[in-house]
């Protein structure tokens, strides 16, 4: 069973994530089927997977899905998640536009790495929303910082995807809860771009916020566009 983050019907960044999640499902469903359902998981002694070839349709001024996958698919990711005995089983990225209800197109590059226990998604946002604005739009959000940059942690429901190998059909339904961390690229919350990291568990147990913040602290500074000043 594979899960992807979803979101509620509201304005702002959570909606962008929900729409992007649906687009990702449609774009990579065949790849996930092949990697997670047809082929057995790798054993602990084999090498972790490399990022699959990314479909990037965004101009060069935006970070690519391939670059996000490279940043996220790091050797120490299992240890950062608190599962050091595991390793990446699938890793993919994509860079494309999503179209909002009013017809506005927003770049939405992202990458996802799956392990036995966790899945992790890294995305870049160019919607000009500040972290503070997103916090105001999201119920139960918790303010925090990542290496001095304003950030917010919140929960988002996920969508569960199942495959019927005999009938060749896919089904979707409610999944577990993802914990998401949105962080400003700049030390000032200026609305000039954010990165978001979301983690969710394959067993639907609530993810560990400490693990989420460890991943964010190590991954975010390696993505092009992060301002370390």
pLDDT surpasses 80 at 124: yes
Residue 53, CA distances (Å) to 28, 65, 137, 226 in order = 11, 10, 35, 24
- pLDDT tier, 204 (very low <50, low <70, confident <90, very high otherwise): confident
Q: Report DSSP state, residue 104.
A: -
What gap in Å lies between CA 115 and CA 83, rounded to an integer?
9
Q: Is the pTM higher than 0.85? A: no
- pLDDT tier, 42 (very low <50, low <70, confident <90, very high otherwise): very low
Average pLDDT score, the chain: 82
182 burial type by CB count under 10 A (0-12 exposed, 13-18 middle, 19+ buried): buried
Per-residue pLDDT, 215:
98
């Amino acid at each position: 069973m594979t899960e992807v983050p979803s979101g509620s019907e509201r304005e702002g960044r959570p909606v962008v994530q929900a729409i992007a999640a649906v687009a990702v499902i449609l774009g990579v469903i065949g790849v996930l089927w092949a990697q997670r359902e047809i082929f057995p998981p790798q054993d602990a002694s084999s090498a972790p997977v490399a990022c699959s070839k990314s479909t990037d349709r965004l101009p060069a001024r935006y970070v690519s899905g391939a670059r996000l996958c490279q940043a996220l698919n790091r050797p120490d990711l299992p240890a950062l998640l608190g599962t050091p005995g595991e390793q990446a089983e699938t890793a993919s990225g994509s860079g494309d536009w999503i179209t909002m209800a009013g017809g506005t197109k927003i770049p939405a590059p992202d990458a996802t790495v799956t392990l036995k226990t966790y899945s992790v998604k890294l995305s870049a946002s160019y919607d000009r929303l500040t972290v503070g604005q997103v916090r105001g739009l999201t119920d139960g959000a918790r303010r925090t910082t990542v290496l001095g940059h304003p950030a917010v942690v919140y929960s988002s429901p996920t969508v569960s995807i199942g495959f019927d190998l005999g009938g060749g059909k896919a089904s979707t339904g409610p999944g577990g809860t993802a914990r998401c961390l949105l962080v400003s690229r700049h030390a000032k919350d200026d609305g000039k771009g954010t990165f978001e990291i979301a983690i969710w568990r394959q067993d639907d147990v609530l993810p560990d916020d400490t693990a989420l913040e460890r991943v964010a602290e190590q991954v975010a500074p390696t993505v092009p566009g992060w301002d370390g000043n």
